[in-house]
Structure 1
Amino acid sequence: MAEPILDILNFDNIISLAVKTLAVIFLIVIFNSFLGIITQSLLRKAKTKKQISNVEIFSQIFKYIFILLVVVFAVLSYSGAWSGFGIFLGLLSAAIGFALQKPITGIAAWMMVVAKRPFDIGDRIFLGDIKGDVTDITLTHIHIAEIGGIIDGEESSGRIVLVPNSLMFEKNIINYTYNHDFVFDSVITTVTYESNLDHAIEIVRESARTKLGKFIARSPSEPRIRLDFMPSGIDVQVKYFSPSRELHEYSSRITKEIFDRINEAPDVEIAYPHTEVVFRRKA
């Protein structure tokens, strides 16, 4: 045990180690300077946020790969253990394979999307707890233009969510537009028991038909009415197929049309929580 230690502490070995260490540092400094010049040149030419991000990310990747190769080469050169290089590569491959389980699963999921086509770019989907329109499908991620998110409703949040492809093997996928571009929606209007119910039904139905006009011919069915007894009145619910990307827009238009028509109708009133005191004479 003493001899190897003495070999390491040998003056010639120390000089050799110092020279190789300085050579490694020199190479890394030169490479970083050269890479920095190229990176700055590319950043000046980059126009978009994505281009800037690509330049910075690939610059980091090249730097780390170069440092790893230089260090490995220096260590093996100093030790003279080139025979162990194959073992090192085998262990490195195994480690990379273990670390990349999710990305590999993501690539398999991408192949499933290409073959089975559960959705396409432009479809509105619900994947796990993320809802939105698919804008891109890559080897590792699905890019989704989120709807809802931090706010209620079907409005676009303006955010792009990158969902790992591997989640497709773990979560349910709901495709709003798999068969057509329409989704079933509804608007509920509660009218008082004293209202003319037939007139209320006509107002609600015609309001939906008016606002959906051009889509009714292409949608799977006509607007339909459903009624329910409620404590304060009768719920008149109109169910209809609406363009999947404009659900909130059309429900708002129909609601406004119903409100305006009821205000003009003398025999229909909207029910709302309130207190009414009725005095009766005793017999």
Structure 2
Amino acid sequence: MRRTGFVALGSAVLLYVGSQSIRRFNFDQSAFGVTLEPLVLTGLSLAAVLLAAYGSYAVIGGYLLDHTESKRRRHDVRNVLRLSFGALAVAAAFGVLTRAWVSVLFSLGIVGFAVTFALQQPLFSLIGWLYITVKRPYQVGDRIAIEDTRGDVVSIDFLVTDVWEIDGDLVSSNQPSGRIVTVPNSTILSSRVVNFYGEGVQYVWNELSIQVAYETDLTFASDLMREEATEYLGDEMARQVEEYRRRLAETPVELDVNERPTVNVVQQESWVELRLRYIVHPRRGTRVRNALYERILERFNEHPDRVKFPVGRSR
């Protein structure tokens, strides 16, 4: 990318030198009664400006992208540079064509004021993109929920955000549907956005619910569920809870967070519900839940005298 940029800058310099040479030696050829010198000078100047803008974008962008390790940051840097150099190239091109820079800037201001009323939604989307870039409610790769859309952010362009859908109308249980949902960036200015995977705590809390009969030894069953969850999750949950506590300490929120899985007992009409609470990566939620179901039910079945299920009752 940087090599292409240097070639473009070199070509821009050559075109500029060529236009100055033509102006100096009075190129007075004409065709069909039209003097060619103004047209040639305008064409060379316009090509030089556009090549200079592209070359500067390629050189600066290549340098910044090479020194940016995060894919998310590279995506943002690329978009900001495209918008900046694109706007400069358009303004410079109008200046070359009209040969009046001050009037061009004034005209752009008037046109921009008119466009504000004519293209409100695209402008709101552009403002939404600026908000996303500055405040970072989500980035590329995050799992988010915005309005009725849930999924992983694939790209964030100037006007829209592309989301790789999960759940939706085709599947459930946090599984990808294979569809790409395009969300206008203006949506973020008026809707609630939930980020399941941000730069802060990258894990979320999940619950696994199992129904047992009233005759069950609840203390034994709860201990068994905690034991299986702790063994399966290992020290990963403790590490993430420590990060969770560290982030909470930076806020005025006071919250007691357990570093090991817990079980809440909820009484229903005809059975008792044991809800195992644990922390997990949002992209592994279904996989972990299925594995814990299998392990816990297998252990429950080993103790039919102490763990009973509400068979034959209204559920």
TM-score (norm: length of structure 2): 0.55
Alignment of 1:220-239 (within 5 A): 220=241, 221-239=259-277
1:266 alignment partner AA = P
CA distance in 1, matches of 2:269, 2:231: 30
Contact 2:215 2:308 in 1 (8 A): no
In the TM superposition, structure 1's runs of 4+ consecutive aligned residues that sit over 6 Å from their partners are: 91-95
* Larger radius of gyration between Structure 1 and Structure 2: 1
DSSP-derived class of the 1:174 partner: strand
Q: Which runs of 5+ in 2 are unaligned?
A: 1-109, 242-258
* Structure 2 residue 305 is the aligned partner of structure 1 residue 267: yes
* Structure 2 residue 180 is the aligned partner of structure 1 residue 142: no
- Structure 1's 217 and 94: CA in aligned 2 closer, same or farther, altered over 3 A? closer
* Structure 2 residue 285 is the aligned partner of structure 1 residue 247: yes
CA distance in 2, matches of 1:239, 1:92: 57
Aligned to 1:202: 223
* Structure 2 residue 211 is the aligned partner of structure 1 residue 190: yes
In the TM superposition, residue 112 of structure 1 has moved relative to its aligned partner by 0.7
Contact 2:206 2:285 in 1 (8 A): yes
Decide which moves more: 138-147 or 190-199. 190-199
CA distance in 2, matches of 1:275, 1:218: 42
DSSP-derived class of the 2:174 partner: coil
Aligned to 1:131: 150
DSSP-derived class of the 2:121 partner: helix
Contact 1:189 1:270 in 2 (8 A): no
* Correspondence for 2:190 among 148, 162, 170: 170
CA distance in 2, matches of 1:222, 1:268: 24
Aligned residues: 188
Q: Which runs of 5+ in 1 are unaligned?
A: 1-90, 277-283
Alignment of 1:30-179 (within 5 A): 98-150=117-169, 151-178=171-198, 179=200
DSSP-derived class of the 1:268 partner: coil
Contact 1:125 1:173 in 2 (8 A): yes
Contact 1:154 1:246 in 2 (8 A): no
Give CA deviations for 1:78-103 in whole Å, capped at 9, x if unaligned. xxxxxxxxxxxxx9988865442211
- Structure 1's 270 and 152: CA in aligned 2 closer, same or farther, altered over 3 A? farther
Contact 1:145 1:156 in 2 (8 A): yes
RMSD in angstroms over aligned alpha carbons? 2.5
DSSP-derived class of the 2:188 partner: helix
1:202 alignment partner AA = D
CA distance in 2, matches of 1:94, 1:180: 42
TM-score (norm: length of structure 1): 0.60
In the TM superposition, residue 269 of structure 1 has moved relative to its aligned partner by 2.9
DSSP-derived class of the 1:218 partner: helix
